[in-house]
Amino acid sequence: MTFPDADDAARVRAFLRDSRARLIDDIRHLVMIESPSDSLEALGELHAYLVHWVGERLGHDLDVQHQRGQDAPTATSWTIAASGGTRASRGTRPFVALLGHYDTVWPLGTTRSWPFAVDGDQLTGPGSYDMKVGLVQMVWLVAALRHARLPHPAIRLVMSGDEEVGSVSSRSFLERQSTGADAVLVFEGAIGEAVKTARKGIGRFVIDVVGVEAHAGVEPEKGASAIHELGALIPRVLAIERAEAGTSVNIGVVGGGSRVNVTTARVRLELEARIRGSAEAPESRPN
């Protein structure tokens, strides 16, 4: 395979420049179909649109694979044949995988107060940065290569709907679809003009503390407060953090208790830890 020359690059730029309005409209559609990680219905709506949209932009002669879960969003791959090739299949080699996710952290209804908007060379909207613009870039990259008739290997687009919550359901699918690839490129944006080349590992944990409920004024000696115990536990949890090594801990949700005059019988804490490398995983550290 030969590398593109200046004329090839000029054809790609001209195609994308001429397609600017359509490209922005594609981003608008994806942003305005809200897709928070905790709404299977919303994720299903956007996934159905994605399947239609990819077919419209790249044709319907692609090898399409789905992973559907009963209580999880669908992950899908589309394999595009190499230039000059016939219809691709899941066994096609060599190939390059382009990865993205269509779920976002923004709750349903966010677009009512923050709709998609374009201001000069900037656009905004919930989920545009992370990472619906990336999905549009993936698809239009393939379209541009085809338009410019540039030689390319088979390309596999892979999109999942649970990345923001740890890719618990889609991980095995992502691994299968990427195995054997010459390169795997993730299209999530980076700050400024940088290219994102890695992400931290993430673990999410729930801690339930059980106490004994009693009247705090009449017979406090019979009670044991789960909240008090949790208060003593939190510093131990935060001690896992090592900023210099890139390990962070965030306690994001705490809930429990019934009344101010009753010792708490149960309280729950939810946290996440992020690590830069496997050696920093808490279970890998010496005590």
**pLDDT above 80 for 118:** yes
- Please check the confidence at residue 284 and state whether its pLDDT lies above 60: no
Residues 150 and 12 both lie in one domain: yes
Asked whether residue 194 is domain-assigned, the answer is: no
Going by C-alpha positions, the residue among 241, 95, 272, 276 that lies closest to residue 177 is 95
* 269 located within any domain: yes
What sign does the CA torsion over 141, 146, 152, 156 have?
A: positive
Report if residue 1 sits inside a domain.
no
Look up the domain containing 141 and give its range.
Answer: 6-186
Higher pLDDT, 98 or 282: 98
Of the candidates 62, 68, 56, which has an alpha carbon nearest to the alpha carbon of residue 88?
62
Tell whether 16 and 158 lie within a shared domain. Answer: yes
Query: pLDDT, tens digit, for every residue of 171-196?
Result: 999 999 999 999 999 999 888 888 88
- On whether both 171 and 208 belong to a single domain, the answer is no
CATH code assigned at 259:
3.30.70.360
16: in domain? yes
Same domain (yes/no): 83, 225: no
List the structure tokens of 89. 């299949």
Q: How confident is the model at residue 16 (pLDDT cuts 50, 70, 90)?
A: very high
**Is 13 within the bounds of a domain?**
yes
Band of pLDDT at residue 217, cut at 50, 70 and 90: very high
Write down which residue in 151, 186, 221 finishes a domain. Answer: 186
> Which residue from 116, 132, 148, 123 is spatially nearest to 10, judged by alpha carbons?
148
Average pLDDT of the segment spanning 161-177? 94
Q: What is the residue whose two structure tokens read 């944006």?
A: 189
pLDDT digits (tens, 9 = 90+) for 26-72: 999 999 999 999 999 999 999 999 999 999 999 988 999 999 988 99
pLDDT at 287: 47
| 284 against 182, higher pLDDT | 182
Whether residue 270 is found in the same domain as residue 156 = no
- Tokens 């928070």, located at residue: 36
Do 148 and 212 fall into the same domain?
Answer: no
154 and 125 belong to one structural domain: yes
Amino acid in the structure at residue 33: I
CA 189 to chain centre: 11
Confidence of residue 143 (pLDDT cuts 50, 70, 90): very high
* Mean pLDDT (whole number) for 3-29: 92
